[in-house]
Amino acid sequence: DDVCWYHGNLSREDTEDLLLNGVPPRNGRFLVRDSSSTAKDFVLSVYHDGEIIHYQIRRHGEDAFFSIEENTIVHGLETLIEYYQENANGLVCALEEPVRKDAPPHDTRRHGRTNLLHRATKEGNFTVVSELLKCGYRSLEAKNQDGQTAVHLASKQGEEAILEKLIASGANVNCRDQHGNTPLHYACQNNLLSIVRILINSGGANVQIRNTNTGWVPLHEAASRGHKEIVEFLLSVGAPSRPRTLKDELPHVLAEGNGYFQCAHLLKTYESPWSKTSRSEWYHGTLSRDEASQLLQSRGNIDGTFLIRYSEHRGYVLTMMCSNKPYNFPITQHGPYYAIDDGPYLDSLEHIVEHYSMMPDGLPTTLQSPIKPRPKPPLPSFHPAINNFTLPSRHRKGYRWSEGNATLPLPPKLRTPRRSIDLDMNSSNHSMGNSNLSLCSSITSLPLPLPDPNTAQVFIPQENLILKDVLGEGAFGSVYKALYQTKDGIEMEVAVKTFHKEHINSNERDFIQEAKLMMGLNHHCIVKLIGLSRGETLLMVQELVPLGSLLSFLQFHPEQVSPHYEILVWASQIACGMEYLEGQRFVHRDLAARNILLATRHQAKISDFGLSRELKNTQEYYRATQGGRWPIKWYAPESFNY
């Protein structure tokens, strides 16, 4: 009786007649009705001083969460009314006397009463449940005193057949109970893998739905209890591996804290699938908020239209359209990861777009229609000789590293996949004199053959490398052009560095550890380390950068280099790469023109990390602790202080 204030599809005119006529009205007399403008929303109509005030009650998501306008969000329509009965809380007055009629719909309530469907489900009585549903039982979404629906109860009890029947009848699988849990939360808590499969595969349950009190998603529940099979299944259906709780806890941290180290290891070493989207479809570089909004509006204010831009003040920003309103969400960087608000840590901007295209996860809607950036201006013309520039080949015919003279047959040759590398820097664009030419955004993206992160390995078998020409020799060893065959049978050209034994044997363990760390570096201005291999000595396999060192290019082709273009482009790219290394807490220690390689005429990459060192989080500089060969003349003068 306390919640009988719902009048269904009552018109505005009839509402005002009902509140003004009949019983002498008093301030705070009210009723709730359906919204005529927005499906699933409601309207609160209140009498105050001879006038009727109408407030829009907005529904948030598919569950029973409501707010009046943009005010406090409350779980349950009846709880929202109770909130405004206690105090005005921004309304013209507190709600006093309801105009009685019906109770609100079951799917809008936080609490209810146990009914026959609840009892039959809890007892596992499939026959009774089937008969009720066959007769068109209208209380399918009704909640018991704990705010739980029949789907909650079937999921907690492990009643697979009943759950399938409820889902087939249209039951909602994403509703929360008074504890903030969905049916999927309970299935993960109770290690019910078959129920988890049914909820997701048959019911379309949201794998990233949060507990309203803790921020836990189903993966937190499974990981914290060591339910490894459920963790593996959730990851396989697209659940991000690094969601955060309200306390910023990650699933692997919860697993470790409870002693489930196998589960924690699975999560820590999990590599996200290669993203299927490309930033060429939605990344616009530096763009103001107003310019981004105008672009969205020019596409007709369609829900889910979006782009990603770079703001000089806020870094990367996702700008999207929903309900004729543009939204701007800063994309923050946390070490190597990206995140929006308190959303999951994701590997790249591409993974951000892919994740929020599959589910809103806190955004007003999913990302649906990307806006492509305008075409980049063409490069200026150069002397034709540079277009055909190649390094002179050296001696050494191709041979394969293997035991003895035997070689393994190669699988059928596959074409190396190529991916576009975006050259927009993480800092604001710089200008060249008065031309206002953006050093990064005006350069075309480079297709470079890089290994699939999902197949990367630290040690590459010798038989998967065929060494070819010598590209260079130095005090530490030689550099070869080589052919690398991945475990998937894909072949790509790489550079292989060999090292003299005296430079490796004394500290091989440290060298391997540093190489593992450097394999995690991923930036378009850094030469990518692919892996290590063992020959007569240790081999380092890295991305092939075909035009050789910047120093050689300057010495042999000075007429092809403009101080007003190439020099500035290379300098900006080197600065961009060094800024990335600083962000990853790496010190290079030997930055020189001989260690800058050219992938193309207009793409420089920093190489030769033989002297690099990783800084610990507590350090701001590197202190050498043992003797060695140091290029003192390249050091900054202030390093003398340390």
CA atoms within 13 A on the CB side of 606: 29
pLDDT of residue 385: 41
Q: Which residues contact 387 (CB under 8 A, 6 or more apart)?
A: none
Residues across the chain: 642
pLDDT of residue 631: 61
Task: Report the distance separating Cα 276 and Cα 357, nearest Å.
Answer: 11
The type of residue at 380 is P
pLDDT at site 432? 39
Which tokens is 81 given? 């009314």
Does residue 440 contact residue 428 with C-beta atoms inside 8 Å?
no
Domains of the chain: 12-98 (3.30.505.10), 279-370 (3.30.505.10), 459-543 (3.30.200.20), 548-634 (1.10.510.10)
Residue 25 and residue 51: Cα distance in Å, rounded?
10
Angle ∠(135,138,142) on CA atoms, nearest 5: 130
CA distance 516 to 503: 18
pLDDT at 607: 87
**485 backbone dihedrals φ, ψ, rounded to 5°:** -110, 120
**Which residues are paired to 532 by β-bridges?**
459, 540
Q: Provide the CB-side half-sphere exposure for 389 (13 A, CA).
A: 22
Give the whole-angstrom CA distance, residue 212 versus residue 63. 11
Which is nearest to 99 in space by CA: 42, 37, 44? Answer: 44
Nearest Cα to Cα of residue 617 among 588, 583, 591: 583
Task: Tell me the residue ranges of DSSP E strands in 214-371.
Answer: 283-286, 305-311, 315-322, 325-334, 337-340, 369-370
Structure tokens at 569: 């482009």
Query: Which tokens in the block code for residue 485?
Result: 């065959």
The Cα 442–Cα 425 span in angstroms is: 11
* Half-sphere exposure in the Cβ direction for 43 (13 Å, CA): 20
Q: Are strands 30-34 and 538-543 parallel, antiparallel or unpaired?
A: unpaired
The contacts of residue 308 (CB under 8 Å, 6+ apart) are 279, 282, 283, 284, 316, 317, 318, 319, 331, 349, 352, 353
From the CB of residue 192, how many other CB atoms can be counted at a distance below 10 Å? 22
Q: What would the two tokens of residue 79 be?
A: 């709880």
Cα distances from 556 to residues 90, 594, 605, in angstroms, run 75, 13, 19
Strands (E), 441-595: 446-448, 465-473, 478-485, 491-498, 529-534, 538-543, 586-587
63 among known catalytic residues: no
Q: Which two tokens stand for residue 478?
A: 């030689």
φ and ψ at 544, to 5 degrees? -80, 125
Q: Using CA atoms, how far apart are residues 416 and 530, in angstroms rounded to an integer?
A: 15
As annotated, the binding site for ATP includes 497
* pLDDT per position as a tens digit, 398-435: 444 433 333 333 333 333 333 333 333 333 333 333 33
Helix count and strand count (H, E) for the chain: 19, 23
Rounded CA gap, 351 and 275, in Å? 6
Got the DSSP string for 299-335?
TT--TTEEEEEEETTTEEEEEEEETTEEEEEEEEEET
Query: Annotated binding site, which residues?
Result: 497
Would you tell me the crossing angle of helices 261-269 and 228-236 to the nearest 10 degrees? Answer: 20
Residue 642 has what pLDDT? 54
Comparing CA positions, the residue from 479, 477, 456, 484 lying closest to residue 400 is 484
Beta carbons of 26 and 46 less than 8 angstroms apart: no
Ranges under pLDDT 70 in the chain: 1, 22, 376-457, 474-476, 502-507, 510, 609-636, 638-642
Torsion of CA 595, 601, 604, 607, to 10 degrees: -30
DSSP letters along 120-151, please?
A: HHHTT-HHHHHHHHHTT-TTTT---TTS--HH
- Going edge to edge, which strands form the sheet with 399-400? 399-400, 465-473, 478-485, 491-498, 538-543, 529-534
Here the tokens at position 403 are 């035991």
CA-CA distance, 192 to 173, in Å (whole number)? 15
SS3 532: strand
Single pTM value for the model: 0.54
Catalytic residue among 41, 146, 452, 590: 590
